[in-house]
Structure 1
Amino acid sequence: MKIAMVGVGAVGASAAYALMISGLAAEIVLIDVNERKAEGEAMDLMHGAPFVRPVTIRSGAYADCVGARIVVITAGSAQRPGETRLDLVKRNADIFGQMIPQIVAAAPDAILLIVSNPVDILTYVSLKLSGLPASRVIGSGTVLDTARLRALVGQRLSVDPRSVHGYVIGEHGDSEVVVWSRATVAGLPVEDFCHQRGIEYSPALRADISTQVRRAAYEIIARKGATYYAIGLGIRHIVEAILRDENTILTVSTLMTGQFGMQDVCLSLPSIVDLSGVEGVLLPDLSPDELIALQRSATVLREVAASVGL
């Protein structure tokens, strides 16, 4: 299996490292407008080849996407301290306008995995520019937000986050929606688990965790300038679901075609991910407030898309 990584800044390099040690790919091609940076990252990673399963890692250009099963796109202008993801839209939409046609020309059969922010808007841009089926243009969406939710709930309740199940849906950004009505710990609603363990379960607890999930990127950027380790692992998880045809349910960003009354916008709902990309989108049983918040999130994204002529 061949994977192309377009953009090898902190996110792209972290994802390439995670993919390398996973053993999922036989070949990883690193592509960046800064060719020397791509060459250096490829050299550094390739020197670790004796410690992992056989893999070839090299730098290249857009033409080297040929034969890639998945093209992961992390390229674009970085989010600045104090800046929302949606502030990035105009700069990165222009970059994608030049980049996507070249990638598709080289790898017309590949699945595009969009990670650059604002990811929902850029997934929609990529879909329009590529002409590919919606199932093969996937955004990383709220996969990271969902992981943050599980990690924070696990931390707060002193339980393994792998035993926590719940979703963040909608925009990967300020209007995202934590689906507390469906969240569980070991199959128990969070409220029931807290009651059994003598933990106070209150609106304040939910609000605090929701705020931490929503503000996580801002807090990390303020401290270290960027987020990249967790999303690098998230990218590996999505790629694994595709390459191993797992039918894994992930909150990736994909085109809405009438779900909950939403159309012509890309955002995250629990989706079945397999070798074809997004095989199907699931409709969780939302509370009235969650449904209103989700539809508001879709409106936010549509307004931003319209502001740049999409």
Structure 2
Amino acid sequence: MHIKTNKISIIGAGFVGSTTAFALMLAGVASDMVIVDLNKEKAEGEAMDLSHGAPFVKAVDIRAGDYEDTADSNIVIITAGVNQKPGETRLDIVNKNIKVFESIVPQVVKYSPNCIILVVSNPVDVLTYITYKLSGFPANRVIGSGTVLDTSRFRYILSQNFEIDTRNVHSYIIGEHGDSEIAAWSLTNIAGMSADDYCKQICEGCDTDFKKHIPEQVKNAAYEIINRKGVTNYGIACAVTRIVEAILRDEKTILSVSSLFRGEYGIDDVYLAIPSIVGSNGVERILTAPLAKDEEERLQESARILKSVISESNL
């Protein structure tokens, strides 16, 4: 498919921002990429290093810059913020990152009033809602990376459990990108079969407790990685690149991004991850697939948790 000229700006040149820039460069989806960071030398170093791979990828101009250099971006990706430390939850760092976003979002809006903002910083659902409020943009143009990565982790771990190709496992993690996230077993299928039916018909001797321990593995994956290497960066960079591709190519792809609820499942005025159609206009539609009663109740509880965090924050 022909790709038009596209400009992407990344705010934050840390592990996630720089790895995302690398993943986007390899994917060949942008012709122009700007990296902005308070540490200008770090941003310059990342841009230089990436640019030296120019002969091996599709033509792209990668440079470090200030906010004015991001002008007229198609997509602005925000990865800046205080990182989650070992022992901290994503919600623990909300107030620190609100201050960061109050300095970033107005600059983004000033120079790229027609862009789509993709929020990756944690806690992503809360910060996406804050970005929506600070930007004044319509909700479809403010997206969070949501549980696109959690969903990928879920599909991978399920595929390992069933010993099949990850790409043949279809499911979603919904709700908060965090401790209250929900494994949507009611939306899970392998070759058109539910996970239970597949287990009974194909696996015969598979672990009958997989519905308990696999969601726990998914929920704790980031903590396990952070405990070992201090940061998660590769998986999220892949997830962000997938979202960007869906937008720039107008794919109408269904991804579990963080979207603004307006009454879906009885939830209103909060960003949560839910399967949504993503295209050139950002989130084009939230899909209200039928969930099991307990899943819907847990989704509503996840919304209450996030709303309470927002109400108690320094916004």
Please, what TM-score do these two structures have when normalized by structure 1?
Answer: 0.98
Shift of 1:149: 0.3
What letter matches 1:268 in structure 2? A
Distance 2:207 2:55 in 1: 51
1:301 maps to: 306
Which portions of structure 1, spanning 4 or more consecutive aligned residues, are displaced by more than 6 angstroms?
A: none
Residue pair 2:95, 2:314 contacting (<8 A) in 1 also:
no
Shift of 1:27: 0.7
What letter matches 1:157 in structure 2? F
Shift of 1:13: 0.8
1:97 maps to: 102
1:80 maps to: 85
Q: Please show how residues 157-236 of structure 1 align to structure 2 within 5 Å.
A: 157-200=162-205, 204-236=209-241
Aligned length: 310
Q: Does 1:138 align with 2:167?
A: no
Q: Equivalent pairs: percent with the same residue?
A: 52
Shift of 1:203: 5.8
Query: How big is each residue's C-alpha offset from its partner over 1:96-123, in whole Å with a ceiling of 9 and x where there is no partner?
Result: 0111001110100000000000000000
SS at match of 2:295: helix
What letter matches 1:196 in structure 2? Q
**Please, which of 245, 266, 274 is the counterpart of residue 271 of structure 2?**
266
Distance 1:105 1:280 in 2: 27
Query: How big is each residue's C-alpha offset from its partner over 1:144-182, in whole Å with a ceiling of 9 and x where there is no partner?
Result: 000000000001110001000001000000000100122
2:38 maps to: 33
SS at match of 1:265: strand
2:27 maps to: 22
Query: How big is each residue's C-alpha offset from its partner over 1:72-91, in whole Å with a ceiling of 9 and x where there is no partner?
Result: 00000000001000001000
Distance 2:193 2:8 in 1: 39
Shift of 1:237: 0.1
**Please, which of 116, 124, 132 is the counterpart of residue 111 of structure 1?**
116
Shift of 1:28: 0.6
Distance 1:198 1:10 in 2: 39
Distance 1:70 1:186 in 2: 35
Shift of 1:199: 3.7
Distance 2:244 2:191 in 1: 26
Q: Does 1:57 align with 2:62?
A: yes
1:122 maps to: 127
Distance 2:192 2:45 in 1: 46
Residue pair 2:162, 2:203 contacting (<8 A) in 1 also:
no
What letter matches 1:111 in structure 2? I
SS at match of 2:127: helix
What letter matches 1:264 in structure 2? D
Residue pair 1:191, 1:201 contacting (<8 A) in 2 also:
no
| Gap regions ≥5 residues in structure 1 | none
Query: How big is each residue's C-alpha offset from its partner over 1:54-95, in whole Å with a ceiling of 9 and x where there is no partner?
Result: 111000011111111000000000000010000010000111
Shift of 1:198: 2.9
Distance 1:203 1:13 in 2: 41
What letter matches 1:301 in structure 2? L
Distance 1:63 1:133 in 2: 22
SS at match of 1:135: helix
What letter matches 2:32 in structure 1? E
Distance 1:207 1:64 in 2: 48
Moved more, 81-90 or 187-196: 187-196
Residue pair 1:271, 1:280 contacting (<8 A) in 2 also:
yes
Distance 1:309 1:84 in 2: 18
Residue pair 2:186, 2:292 contacting (<8 A) in 1 also:
yes
Q: Please show how residues 147-158 of structure 1 align to structure 2 within 5 Å.
A: 147-158=152-163
**Please, which of 270, 281, 290 is the counterpart of residue 276 of structure 1?**
281
Residue pair 2:151, 2:173 contacting (<8 A) in 1 also:
yes
SS at match of 2:164: coil
2:250 maps to: 245
Distance 2:7 2:161 in 1: 40
Please, what TM-score do these two structures have when normalized by structure 2?
Answer: 0.97
What letter matches 2:296 in structure 1? L
SS at match of 2:209: helix
Distance 2:62 2:43 in 1: 10
